[in-house]
Amino acid sequence: MFFSVFLLSLCVFFLLFQLQPRRPKNFPPGPPSVPLLGNLLSLNIKDPLNDIERLRQSYGNVYSLFFGLKPVVIINGFKAMREAMVIKAADFAGRAQNTFLTAINDSKGVITVDYSPLWRDTRRFILMTLKNFGLGKKSMEDRIHEEIQYTIKTLENNIGKAFCPQFVFHNAVSNIICKVLFGTRYEYDDDTIKTLIQCFKRINKILNGPWALLYDSIPLIRRLPLPYNTAFEDVELILDIAQDLVNEHKKTRVPGEPRDFVDCYLDELEKRDDDSTFFEEQLKRVTLDLYSAGTDTTSNTLLSGFLYLMKYPHIQERCQQEIDRVLDGQDKVSYENRHNMPYTQAVIHEIQRITSLVPLSVFHCTTKDTELSGYSIPQGTIVIQNLTSVLREEGQWKFPHEFNPENFLNDQGEFLKPQAFMPFSAGFRICPGEGLARMELFLILVTLLRKFKFVWPEDAGEPDFTPVYGAILSPKPYLMKVHLR
């Protein structure tokens, strides 16, 4: 009996020993791991950001964790981030496959596609098409200004009332990207736009959350009926909407005369052969990626921005004084006006810096054996960028831990963007919608500040800047008051 128990214990010990994650030679250091779970017990999986920073203090700017048996490298600080994402961009340009995010995207689209001809062709097409549709030009400005008029009407209907602005900014930004992708906009009470926004909200809440982390770490649970399955259902619902819009385009388009992104892609499809990286399922996935990347980040930046402007009314007032001076005699703001608005530019960039809305970016993966900060990183290693560590790094900013536009102004009051400003990541995988997001933020914020004063309600307590954790951080719902200037 004793010998049987001994043998069983020996077998269990041997099994656990085999399931003990081991760091490769010269791999970045990190905390001790446990069999099967790796370092999951080292993280608060509901919101790991504080733990990621705590571990950085112990193990340095480049350290490692195990998600189950899977090794993961965490990159912190500007120096290491620049080495990986800019200097050795191709080495770190892969996307972590066999993860929750790639599963719900079916490894298609552009965000989660690995470093490959599919990714290169798709990204090149996106950038070219956005440029052709006026990105950086007056035609794109006109699209944004058209939507801003609906936003103004909604705010005017709420003058003097305490109301939640979430739906206003989510719908406005959603309509701008819908106009670019599908050539259509939706009324703010339309069921389609409500469905899209709610689906993406639910998906964002799950991404980078505890269930996604467990999905990535323990493959055995992936077929179980667990909460992350709602994300797969929401993606299918979004793809059904996209398919309906693509079918409508097929009926109404005139080849060679594109009205929007979908028409451009359908034109491209007709030119390609069967082995092409262009195909209809990819079109739906790309529109899903562009919609998600172009909606939540920009709308939550606006929501966070107005929260700060209400908390610091003197900053809001100084912006308005600059806006009034520069736009004196103009009917509406132009994107070119940003060059004459250093303070307002500084405020917009400071909002993006302090909020760090995509704190862990999208997980990367090494495309070959490489090195980082003297450590050896094998091919296929998942790499996570802690962008917050760069956006609030001591020595990179005048006031790293507080909201202060002086972070983007030199001694002469001129706008200056430090290299450490990388809220859209950096290198080959930098967000392709960065240009559109910058234009939207500037035109929307300047137009609204020119017309309205935004006030924190007297009976609402103190503003709470603690974000709701997800793949994209969002401010907690709050109330605002709007007055005509």
Nearest CA to 115 out of 287, 389, 370 is that of 370
Establish if 13 belongs to a structural domain. no
Query: What confidence score (pLDDT) does residue 14 get?
Result: 40
- pLDDT tens digits in sequence order for the chain, 485 residues long: 544 443 444 444 444 444 567 888 999 999 998 887 888 888 887 888 999 999 999 999 999 999 988 999 999 999 999 999 999 999 999 998 888 888 999 889 999 899 999 999 999 999 998 888 766 666 889 999 999 999 999 999 999 999 999 989 999 999 999 999 999 999 888 999 889 888 988 888 888 778 888 888 888 888 888 888 999 999 999 999 999 999 999 999 999 899 999 999 999 988 877 778 899 999 999 999 999 888 889 999 999 999 999 999 999 999 999 999 999 989 999 999 999 999 999 999 999 999 999 999 999 999 999 999 999 999 999 999 999 999 999 999 999 999 999 999 999 999 999 999 999 889 889 888 888 899 999 999 999 999 999 999 998 889 999 998 888 899 999 999 999 99
Q: Domain range spanning residue 207?
A: 21-484
Q: Quick one: which of 361, 366, 404 has its CA closest to 384? A: 361
Q: How many CA atoms lie within 13 A of 476 on its CB side?
A: 6
Does the global pTM surpass 0.85? Answer: yes
Amino acid letter for position 393:
E
Does some domain include residue 5? no
Question: Looking at the domain assignment, is residue 10 inside a domain?
Answer: no
Is 437 inside a domain boundary? Answer: yes
Burial 136-172 (b: 16+ CB within 10 A, else e): eeeebbebbbebbebbeebbeeeeeebbebbbbbbbb
Q: What's residue 89's pLDDT? A: 94
Residue 9 lies in a domain: no
**Residues 365, 383 contacting (CB under 8 angstroms):** yes
Q: Is residue 6 part of a domain?
A: no
15: in domain: no
- Which pLDDT score is estimated for 10? 42
What interhelical angle do 313-326 and 342-355 show, nearest 10?
140
Beta bridge partners of 75: 62, 385
CB atoms within 10 A of CB 465: 15
Strand partners, 63: 74
pLDDT in the model for residue 17? 44
CA–CA separation, 266 and 279 (whole Å): 9
Q: How many domains does the chain have?
A: 1
Where residue 251 sits, what CATH number does that domain have? 1.10.630.10
> DSSP assignment, residue 83?
I
